[in-house]
Amino acid sequence: MASPPADRVTYREAVREAIREALLRDPRVFLMGEDVGRYGGAYAVSKGLLAEFGPERIRDTPLSESTFVGAGIGAALGGTRPIVEVMTVNFSLLALDQIVNNAATIRHMSGGGFSVPLVIRMATGAGRQLAAQHAHSLEGWFAHVPGLRIVTPATIEDARGMLWTALENPDPVLIFEHQALYNLEGELPAGAGAVDIDRAAVRRPGRDVTLVTYGGTLVKTLAAAETLAGENIHAEVIDLRTLRPLDMDTVLASVRKTRRVVVVDEGWRSGSLAGEILARIAESAFYDLDAPVRRVCSAEVPIPYPKHLEDAALPQPAAVVEAVRALVPAGAAA
Amino acid sequence: MIEFRMPSLGADMEAGTLVEWVKKPGDPVARGDIIAVVDTEKGAIEIEVFDAGVIESTVVEPGAKVPVGTLLAVIRAPGEGPGAPAAGAAASAAAPQPPSAAAPSPAAAIVTRARVSPAARKRAGELQVDVGAIEASGPDGSITVADVERAAARRRAPAAPADRATSMRGAIGAAMARAKREIPHLYLTTTVDLSRSLAWLTAENQRRAVADRLLPVVLFIKAAARACVEVPAVNGFWTESGFTAGAGVHIGCAIALRGGGLVAPALHDVDRKPLDVLARELADLVKRARAGGLRSSEMSDATITVTNLGDLGVESAYAIIHPPQVAILAVGRVVERPWVAEGRIEPRSVVSMSVSADHRATDGREAGLFLAAIDRALQAPESL
């Protein structure tokens, strides 16, 4: 695929290409999860990989998250580089004990003697009418846990590049792929590869307000920024990329410049990652703020199935635009 | 009802700009309370009220420039009922219950507290903009950085420091021209041996913490005040009806301002205050004169002025009387000179002092007695 100049690919293809590359590069890498083999993955990410790499390296697992995530931890301890796919973040709760009590703690509890170089990929978020048990955004919960690294590729390039960087990390990395992004299409430069996962990225520069977001809401936030630009309000859009550890330097530098901030987060507002980010801004940049901090989060309901209700429950560009308008005085942007 | 009018803060003031009301309708006031801040050519002055009562209404809005004597507010004297429901009796509207007339004010204060964003507050500090007088454009009526910067730009434009210096120069010029035109000045000068004073001061200061040390100028001011008590003819005012002696000895201290200009606010009842207190009050007066924040009484009721040019290196000076006062004492630099004492030539620290006096109010004899009294006082510093 990665041939001449730039390829037009989907997010799904970019993830698949990343897995392929990892399998080709390192014989210790294998993929396991429910339906990743013969079915090609719930989101068709691993379609074709079983034929190419065989059942040793593309492993279907039983419907038992605790078991196969635990097996992944054991395999990582045993010297391999497992990529474990959990179908959606809702199901990862069945493996919460393995992730939080084992994967995240073993380096610490062994006094640095053992590490768990495990990568867990999972789909998160709503927007495809999958209803409450398949559509929540719980990455903020995992971002609470020391010992884990949480990354959220929001662009084709990050979908292509973050996996290899994650596999090189000696500690467990959870990659949250927003299910609404799989069909996203974009240019992937030839030779695109591993990307930095330590730094947030400024996806759109601006001077009047900072919009902090990640994952599935980046697209919506950029759309909001576009609308605002038509009103001569120039929003700077920051893609966090990594939810743990947070790159607050990039966020704070932006807030100190624009003096206003809105966090856009598909998680529920109460106890959210958005709350953590705003708290850190208030701790470090209080005297640089020119307006109250604001956030646009999901409605505090289980995500509904009907499309109009699902749309209403999720952060949408219009809500972001409205939040910004309340902060930036009309015509007084400077 | 008591009418509170724009005060004259010195002979050179014709009008003032009301900057803010410190008290508002419904507030009780006592004599000496600061009621408003007025901007004059000499900077912002805190205006005191001379009567006790309750503010009935304010007549002039902040920002308005009005001539001296203009009605600013109406004060209800103690025992007087609230005014007829005529013009501007707004205070009572909030509270229908008459007994708790003062109650609504704290609530009102909370409501009117400006919302200032942290960044705007910081910027206002940097630009020295008063956030109380800024128009807000931010969310929920808050003041933003942009508002502060706009206010700072506006302030720079019409009332730039150079502008104030120019108008102040004009005001001083007008007052001094009037003084030279109207007052027949007589000038007397003498040289005072300061050996005793300085020796006493040195010994005294050795016992004091650095911050509490006394400067010679404090002795001069106190000595002048003592002399005023002995020679009341130099301490007071010349008006159309002739000379009126000052009710106390309030010494105007000429203070040069940074960026040019001069004010001479009064130290009150100098003859009755110990040196410690005077030193503290003088330091405070200088600080407030330069930072803004002088009070109206200080600006208007000096009974005689002392100008100390010694620290500029000036050896002696003849000053112009600040009307309506009738005398001014100019003090030069303390210098070491050969001095004949008890038939021997000795090096002594001496200072030149001159008095300019209004010949309509007094004459050379009294002015001479005044200088002699100062000299005598400085020969007995321990009694000052």
DSSP-derived secondary structure letter, A215: T
User: Which residues lie across from A173 on neighbouring strands?
Assistant: A119, A149
Q: For residue B81, give the amino acid letter.
A: G
Residues from chain B that touch A327, judged by Cβ atoms under 8 A, are 139
CB–CB contact B139 A291 (8 Å): yes
Report the C-alpha gap between A209 and A259 in whole angstroms.
7
Cβ A167 vs Cβ A117: under 8 Å? yes
Query: pLDDT for A31-87, tens place per residue?
Result: 999 999 999 999 999 999 999 999 999 999 999 999 999 999 999 999 999 999 999
The whole-number pLDDT of residue A331 equals: 53
Residue B109 distance to chain A (closest CA, Å):
22
Q: How much of chain B exceeds pLDDT 90, in percent? A: 31
Report the C-alpha gap between A151 and A128 in whole angstroms.
22
Residue A296 distance to chain B (closest CA, Å):
17
A282 Cβ contact partners less than 8 Å away, ≥ 6 residues apart? A289, A293
The whole-number pLDDT of residue B93 equals: 38
Report the C-alpha gap between B239 and B56 in whole angstroms.
33
Lowest mean pLDDT among A168-182, A289-303, B300-314: B300-314
Report the C-alpha gap between B129 and B224 in whole angstroms.
40
Query: pLDDT for B9-45, tens place per residue?
Result: 777 777 888 888 888 888 888 888 888 888 877 777 8
Query: pLDDT for A211-254, tens place per residue?
Result: 999 999 999 999 999 999 999 999 999 999 999 999 999 999 99
Residue A327 distance to chain B (closest CA, Å):
5
Search chain B and give the residue with CA nearest A323. Answer: B139
The answer to whether residue B354 scores a pLDDT higher than 70 is yes
Search chain B and give the residue with CA nearest A333. Answer: B146
Q: For residue A107, give the amino acid letter.
A: R
DSSP-derived secondary structure letter, B272: G
Report the C-alpha gap between A304 and A129 in whole angstroms.
8
The answer to whether residue B52 scores a pLDDT higher than 70 is yes
Q: What are B122's two structure tokens?
A: 């910081």
CB–CB contact B142 A332 (8 Å): no
Q: For residue B224, give the amino acid letter.
A: A
Token pair 């006592």 in the structure block, residue? B30
The whole-number pLDDT of residue B91 equals: 38
To which H or E segment does residue B376 belong? helix B364-379
Q: How much of chain A exceeds pLDDT 90, in percent? A: 92
CB–CB contact B144 A332 (8 Å): yes
The whole-number pLDDT of residue B162 equals: 55
CB–CB contact A332 B137 (8 Å): yes
CB–CB contact A287 B120 (8 Å): no
CB–CB contact B119 A334 (8 Å): no
Residues from chain B that touch A286, judged by Cβ atoms under 8 A, are 118
The whole-number pLDDT of residue B19 equals: 82
Q: Out of A287, A327, A332, name the one closest to residue B146 (CB).
A: A332
The whole-number pLDDT of residue B112 equals: 53
The whole-number pLDDT of residue A84 equals: 98
Query: pLDDT for B72-88, tens place per residue?
Result: 888 888 877 665 443 43
Could you give the residue numbers annotated as active site of A? 65, 134
Q: What does the DSSP assignment read for B176-203?
A: HHHHHHH--EEEEEEEEE-HHHHHHHHH
DSSP-derived secondary structure letter, A102: I
Search chain B and give the residue with CA nearest A332. Answer: B146
The whole-number pLDDT of residue B137 equals: 86
Pairing of β B266-267 and β B236-239: unpaired
Phi, psi of A261 (to 5 degrees): -150, 140
For residue A117, whether the previous peptide bond is cis, meaning omega lies within 30 degrees of 0, is no
The whole-number pLDDT of residue B94 equals: 38
Report the C-alpha gap between A198 and A242 in whole angstroms.
7
CA A275 to the chain's CA centroid: 17
Question: Which ipTM did the prediction report?
Answer: 0.78
Report the C-alpha gap between B10 and A325 in whole angstroms.
52
Query: pLDDT for B272-326, tens place per residue?
Result: 999 989 999 998 888 888 877 788 888 888 999 999 887 778 888 899 998 889 9
Closest CA to B279 of B356, B195, B204: B204
Residues from chain A that touch B139, judged by Cβ atoms under 8 A, are 291-292, 326-327, 329
Q: What are A55's two structure tokens?
A: 């059942």
